[in-house]
């Protein structure tokens, strides 16, 4: 995980660190946000996902302390907490500190002898924006603490530890996608992750002349408190009904759009629709990976559009703002496809567009979306970046 040399500007981070804590940091970490290109609500069903790490990232600057205290400052809320490594205590307030606490507690539980540390966190990944600011925080802090402790963790073990921190300290029952992409991403590639075997394939983002545009509705979501756990339960209910007919089925991954029909009379109609989304989304994700390998932006875009329709109509995790954005941008010339990304209920949509059509897309959003909604959509491009990297700063 420790790679050579910063790939980002860290001047502002350094200046702030010096103001708060005195000398230069011993280590800096960059941990990216993510957008999922396709494969939504499939990770906790043993399916496939196809995310990229964004060029927008969270940064941590950190220095070793001689005592057992963690002093942590976040620029996002301009808040600080002080934690005691001898007694980290249960999750509490402020909520952002629970991610730090969770990661530190689980690293200690792994037998890693963490030193005290001063940490400054600064981020350009919008919080609650559906682009995985929380995984960036977990992975960023974990990397900083590991470098200070002069220890390494296998990337998959690190991703799983961060996911556990999210479950146990932030109360969010997320799947494995966000932490895996944050740790494993390669610049210029999307990650086809098999969430059953946890094996993965780095696929070059081979769509020349296109750009990826992120459109943030600014509608905040919090997956633990949302319908997310309800969807997980509905998937489990669907699986149980299928297993009562075919015990060989281990997860919705083992069902196809052809075989699903055999089980529908055993299920509640709402559960049928939830399962229908998962099963078809897994198929779309595999097809999208093939389209990416073939450099076929049109095919990829069509799959994004079907994915959005399925998330909107079958899985019912979209919202009016996301639907409006997707409809508006899909009518712009040069847009191959668009969809909501992440857990849903707010957050971001993404579009795959010809590079020359980005301005027309922005204008269409200003004209047809911003004038009709309380908050304007924040529109920006992103590129597939590397996963978390840490470098000693002296
Ligand atoms: C959230 C979770 C992920 C995944 C997505 C939906 O972002 O953190 O694990 O389940 O929702 O695809």
Q: Residue 222: what pLDDT? A: 64
Q: Residue 9: what pLDDT? A: 53
Atom 1 in ligand 1: residue holding the nearest Cα: 343
- Dump pLDDT digits (tens) for 174-185: 999 999 999 999
Instruction: Copy the structure tokens of residue 384.
Output: 């597939």
Q: What is the DSSP string of 165-187?
A: HHHHHH-----SHHHHHHHH--T
- DSSP-assigned beta bridge partners for residue 378: 216
The alpha carbon of 300 and the centre of ligand 1 are apart by a number of angstroms equal to 21
Instruction: Copy the structure tokens of residue 256.
Output: 């196809």
pTM given for the model: 0.95
Sequence-separated (6 or more) residues with CB below 8 Å from residue 222: 128, 172
C-alpha span between 346 and 323 (Å, rounded): 10
Q: In what order do the strands lie in the sheet with 200-204?
A: 48-49, 189-194, 200-204
Nearest to 161 by CA among 115, 109, 199: 109
Confidence of residue 169 (pLDDT cuts 50, 70, 90): very high
41 lines ligand 1 (CB under 6 A): yes
Task: Bin 370: left if φ > 0, else alpha if -120 < ψ < 50, else beta.
Answer: alpha
Backbone dihedral angles phi then psi of residue 352, each to the nearest 5 degrees: -100, 120
Q: Give the position, in ligand 1's atom list, of the atom nearest the Cα of 342.
A: 7
Alpha-carbon distances, residue 228 vs 49, 221, 223, 249 (angstroms): 17, 10, 6, 23
- Dump pLDDT digits (tens) for 355-389: 999 999 999 999 999 999 999 999 999 999 999 99
For residue 82, the SS3 value is strand
The alpha carbon of 110 and the centre of ligand 1 are apart by a number of angstroms equal to 26
Backbone dihedral angles phi then psi of residue 351, each to the nearest 5 degrees: -135, 140
The alpha carbon of 132 and the centre of ligand 1 are apart by a number of angstroms equal to 9
Q: Which residues are catalytic?
A: 178
Nearest to 183 by CA among 196, 193, 174: 193
Q: In what order do the strands lie in the sheet with 79-84?
A: 79-84, 69-74, 117-123, 51-64, 27-36, 389-392
C-alpha span between 352 and 207 (Å, rounded): 9
Confidence of residue 394 (pLDDT cuts 50, 70, 90): low
Confidence of residue 7 (pLDDT cuts 50, 70, 90): very low
Q: What is the DSSP string of 241-271?
A: HHHHH-TT--SGGG--TTTGGGGGGGS-HHH
> Mutation test of ligand 1: which of 52, 175, 230, 304 has the most ligand atoms closer than 8 Å to its C-beta?
175
C-alpha span between 192 and 178 (Å, rounded): 13
Sequence-separated (6 or more) residues with CB below 8 Å from residue 56: 32, 33, 124, 125, 131, 380, 382
Greatest alpha-carbon span in the chain: 67
Contact 139, 182 (CB under 8 A): yes
pLDDT average, residue stretch 154-171: 97
Q: Residue 2: what pLDDT? A: 42
Q: Pairing between strand 117-123 and 69-74?
A: parallel
40 lines ligand 1 (CB under 6 A): yes
């Amino acid at each position: 995980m420790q790679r050579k040399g910063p790939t980002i500007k860290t001047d502002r981070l350094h200046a702030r660190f010096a103001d708060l804590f005195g000398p230069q940091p011993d280590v800096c970490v960059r941990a990216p946000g993510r957008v999922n290109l396709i494969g939504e609500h499939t990770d906790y069903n043993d399916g496939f996902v196809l995310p990229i790490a964004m060029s927008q990232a969270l940064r941590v600057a950190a220095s070793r302390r001689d005592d057992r205290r963690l002093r942590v400052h976040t620029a996002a809320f301009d808040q600080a907490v002080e934690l005691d490594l001898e007694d980290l205590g249960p999750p509490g307030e402020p909520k952002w500190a629970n991610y730090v606490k969770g990661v530190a507690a689980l690293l200690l539980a792994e037998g890693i002898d963490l030193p005290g540390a001063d940490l400054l966190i600064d981020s350009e990944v919008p919080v609650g924006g559906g682009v995985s600011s929380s995984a960036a925080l977990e992975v960023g802090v974990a990397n900083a603490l590991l470098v200070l402790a002069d220890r390494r963790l296998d990337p998959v073990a690190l991703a799983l530890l961060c996911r556990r921190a999210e479950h146990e300290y932030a109360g969010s029952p997320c799947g494995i996608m966000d932490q895996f992409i944050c740790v494993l991403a390669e610049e210029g590639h999307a990650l086809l992750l098999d969430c059953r075997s946890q094996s993965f394939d780095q696929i070059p983002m081979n769509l020349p002349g296109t750009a990826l545009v992120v459109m943030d509705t600014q509608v905040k979501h919090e997956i633990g408190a949302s319908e997310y756990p309800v969807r997980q339960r509905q998937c489990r209910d669907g699986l149980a009904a299928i297993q009562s007919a075919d015990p060989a089925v281990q997860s919705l991954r083992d069902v196809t759009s052809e075989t699903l029909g055999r089980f529908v009379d055993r299920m509640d109609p709402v559960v049928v629709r939830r399962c229908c989304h998962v099963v078809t989304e897994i198929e779309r994700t595999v097809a999208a990976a093939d389209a990416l390998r073939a450099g076929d932006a049109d095919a990829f875009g069509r799959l994004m559009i079907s994915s959005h329709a399925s998330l909107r109509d079958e899985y019912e995790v979209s919202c009016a703002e996301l639907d409006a954005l997707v409809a508006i941008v899909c009518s712009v010339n040069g847009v191959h496809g668009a969809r909501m990304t992440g857990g849903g209920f707010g957050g971001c949509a993404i579009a795959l567009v010809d590079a020359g059509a980005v301005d027309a897309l922005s204008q269409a959003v200003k004209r047809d979306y911003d004038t009709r909604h309380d908050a304007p959509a924040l529109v920006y491009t992103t590129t597939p970046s590397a996963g978390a990297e840490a470098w000693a700063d002296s």
